[in-house]
Structure 1
Amino acid sequence: MSKIPNYDLYGESARPPWYDAFNFEWIAERSRPNDWHIAAHRHDALLQILYIRSGTGHVLIESEKLVIEPPSLVLIPAQTVHGFVFSPEIDGLVITAAQRALESISKAVSPGLLPVLQRPALIPVRPEVGDDTLMPLFGLLEQEFRGSARGHIAAGMSLMIALFVQVARLTDAASAASAAAGATVNDRRAAQIKRLRELVAAHVREHQPIEFYAGKIGITAAQLGRICRDELGHSPMSLVNDHLIREAQRDLVYSGLTIKQIAHALGFEDAAYFSRYFRKQTGVTPTEFQAAAHRDLSLN
């Protein structure tokens, strides 16, 4: 199985999360030497926000490829798998910042920003907003990053919070525009999520790909991914994994079957692979979970 690279910045091995508070660079600086292509990777502790003023390209967010239509913002929280392809005419910038530091500041001054910081997004920007509001903020951020005046890191992080206030406002405006289009979209999405849950319950032990569920609902896998992230805050595969783990936990506690029998009943050909999967999802092995659950039940 291939492993998604974990980078600090593009192509650089990950460093401790507090090594840098924030970084500013123009997209061309990093993308030109890489032939305008940034392969899929992730940052364990770093958030990135890109502002695309002009040019073309697309962004890969987890399994979904989105076309970038400038001007727009691209928000990539920590631990999100992402990649880019830009045209040589791209004009834009990227800021990288410590996710935990931004969240800590947000909790203190504006807790409502936390969901904005934690969800990947491609956000359209009206040209006048970009020119009159965002670019002055980006200019100040670049000044603090490249300068060495007293408190420049603190000033930069404060400016990042101001930037995310603007991002939240843009997100609210986009949501309001969607709501104005009518409740039928929300009703349809609710029905699609309900149908997805029913399909997962019926087929989870078959280990079907996301394309299977999307086809049953009558949409593409990319559309299903977008609906789940918008409505549930996570991917369709997370929903599948959650359901499969609940089934596994139920069998481990109540079925009386061996680990090998449970693995086969859940559609795993190899009990060792099932144990690795279970531990990845829960942090403990099936045996450890089963023993702890039985101890808890014996005390009640």
Structure 2
Amino acid sequence: MRKIPSYELYGEASTARPPWHDAFNFEWIPERSRPNDWNIPAHRHDALLQFLYIRSGQGHVIIESEKTPFNPPCLVILPAQVVHGFAFSPEIDGLVVTAAQRALESIAKSVSSTLVAVLQRPAVIPVSGPSASDETLMPLFHMLENEFRRGAAGYTAAGMSLLMALFVQAARLIDHANVPVAALAARRSLQIRRFRELIAQHFREHRPVEFYADALDVTPPQLGRICREELGSSPTALINDHLIREAQRDLVYSGMTVKQIAHSLGFEDSAYFSRYFRKQTGATPREFQSSAHRDLALGTP
């Protein structure tokens, strides 16, 4: 059985508390991708967000079970726990910043709920239009690199402040590109986040909506209204989406059989799991698996 790797940084095993847990990491993309033959296989970071600026070159990013070619210049936002991977051409020019998701969100909440929403959604954002350009982004990244390399007193505060400035630029680019990002009110954002955390903890138990509402100290109708107004989905749809996403991850990456995946996700009957999966996605598990493996062509730019 093969599980999706979880790293602090790609190729570095997670530890209880890495030395830069409350800070950030800066590196140029070739530093890590060149030793890995320009391919970073699918993995995830449990507590870390990654923010890439790709200036030139070719390749693609895998986000969950989708492969997206990038068209430089562009920004790529990968929140914590999102499965992702890369294939780069040797001519790639760009950088990646890694920082603690919750620390960034805590700072963003004091500034703008819009920024919190930007931090919570994976996105590939074109750098175009009047809001940002290489001339506006690179000075911020150079200052960020300088803070990281020097490690002088207060570098964490300076780095996080620079990251907030960069996410403001990302929000402006999202607006320019008409990429939808919901601005969540602080209280509801916290409720939605807690709901998602509960789903992640209990989705294999196939709990009803009432269970989650009780845990959040709201009524089922209140939870339904919060989800519909803030996310445009019902609580049941969010639970199903999480379960299906986990099933898709396992089908693409785990190497387990459909029967093994069904049992690992709390289904006693693999035939019922297949019917459920098809109802939610329009394809059987095996059809999805074959299509995803063919479309992703893992390991090729």
What is the one-letter code of the residue matched to 2:70? I
Q: Is contact 1:55-1:87 (8 Å) kept?
A: yes
Larger mean CA deviation between 148-157 and 70-79 belongs to 148-157
Q: 1:233 deviation in Å?
A: 12
Match of 2:76 in 1: 74
Residues 135-185 of structure 1: CA deviation (Å, up to 9, x unaligned): 1110110011111322111100111111111111111111179xxxxxxxx
What is the one-letter code of the residue matched to 1:26? W
Match of 1:164 in 2: 167
Q: Is contact 1:17-1:45 (8 Å) kept?
A: no
Closer, same or farther in 2 for the Cα pair 1:127/1:168, shift >3 Å?
A: closer
Match of 1:113 in 2: 115
| Larger RCO: 1 or 2 (CA < 8 Å, sep 6+) | 2
Choose from 128, 151, 155 the match for 2:154: 151
- Residues paired across the two proteins, number: 198
Report percent identity of matched pairs.
62
- Does 2:43 align with 1:38? no
Cα separation, 2, equivalents of 1:15 and 1:265: 36
What is the one-letter code of the residue matched to 2:83? V
Closer, same or farther in 2 for the Cα pair 1:28/1:267, shift >3 Å?
A: same
Q: Is contact 1:54-1:90 (8 Å) kept?
A: yes
Residues 180-199 of structure 1: CA deviation (Å, up to 9, x unaligned): xxxxxxxxxxxxxxxxxxxx
Closer, same or farther in 2 for the Cα pair 1:121/1:86, shift >3 Å?
A: same
- Does 2:30 align with 1:25? no
What is the one-letter code of the residue matched to 2:4? I
Closer, same or farther in 2 for the Cα pair 1:105/1:231, shift >3 Å?
A: same
What is the one-letter code of the residue matched to 2:172? R
RMSD: 3.0
Q: Is contact 2:128-2:173 (8 Å) kept?
A: no
Residues 98-132 of structure 1: CA deviation (Å, up to 9, x unaligned): 10100111112222211100100000012873322
Give the 3-state SS of the residue equivalent to 2:168 in structure 1. helix
What is the one-letter code of the residue matched to 1:12? E
Residues 196-215 of structure 1: CA deviation (Å, up to 9, x unaligned): xxxxxxxxxxxxxxxxxxxx
Cα separation, 2, equivalents of 1:241 and 1:24: 31
Closer, same or farther in 2 for the Cα pair 1:107/1:240, shift >3 Å?
A: closer
What is the one-letter code of the residue matched to 2:96? V
Match of 2:200 in 1: none
Cα separation, 2, equivalents of 1:8 and 1:265: 34
Match of 2:281 in 1: none
Give the 3-state SS of the residue equivalent to 1:38 in structure 2. strand
Match of 2:102 in 1: 100
More helix per residue: 1 or 2?
A: 1
Cα separation, 2, equivalents of 1:119 and 1:107: 15
Match of 1:267 in 2: 272
Choose from 133, 144, 164 the match for 1:141: 144
Closer, same or farther in 2 for the Cα pair 1:91/1:113, shift >3 Å?
A: same
Q: Is contact 1:36-1:87 (8 Å) kept?
A: yes
Residues 254-293 of structure 1: CA deviation (Å, up to 9, x unaligned): xxxxxxxx94598159xxxxxxxxxxxxxxxxxxxxxxxx
Q: 1:17 deviation in Å?
A: 5.7
Give the 3-state SS of the residue equivalent to 1:106 in structure 2. helix
Q: Report which of the two structures shows the higher radius of gyration computed on alpha carbons.
A: 1
Residues 196-252 of structure 1: CA deviation (Å, up to 9, x unaligned): xxxxxxxxxxxxxxxxxxxxxxxxxxxxxxxxxx97699x99635669xxxxxxxxx
Cα separation, 2, equivalents of 1:47 and 1:241: 19
Cα separation, 2, equivalents of 1:231 and 1:65: 25
What is the one-letter code of the residue matched to 2:7? Y
Match of 1:174 in 2: 177
Q: Is contact 2:7-2:44 (8 Å) kept?
A: yes
Structure 1 portions without partners, runs of 5+: 178-229, 244-261, 270-300
Q: 1:65 deviation in Å?
A: 0.2
What is the one-letter code of the residue matched to 2:167? F
**Aligned pairs (5 A) from 1:1-300:** 1-16=1-16, 19-20=19-20, 21-126=23-128, 129-175=132-178, 239-240=240-241, 263-264=268-269, 267=272
* TM-score normalised over the length of structure 2: 0.60
